[in-house]
Amino acid sequence: MIVIGAILLIIGLVLKIPILWTIGIIALAIGVVLLVAGALGHAVAGRRHWY
């Protein structure tokens, strides 16, 4: 999610498409929140461990 957000941000900035830039920020923020929640030991998407 973080990688997708970063890619959309870059594409949005290079091609000057504001909607891609906005979606990139949202995807990046969601990815960071999920990363922090997983790092703190909370279950993410109903799973406590990923195998």
7 assigned to some structural domain: yes
Specify the number of domains making up the chain. Answer: 1
Domain limits at 15? 2-39
Note whether 8 and 24 are within 8 A (CB). Answer: yes
Confidence of residue 38 (pLDDT cuts 50, 70, 90): confident
pLDDT in tens, 9-21: 999 999 999 999 9
* Residue 33 included in any domain: yes
Q: Is residue 19 part of a domain?
A: yes
Question: Which of residues 23 and 37 earns the better pLDDT score?
Answer: 23
Whether residue 17 lies inside any domain: the answer is: yes
Q: Is residue 49 part of a domain?
A: no
Does 50 reside within a domain? Answer: no
- Would 48 be classed as within a structural domain? no
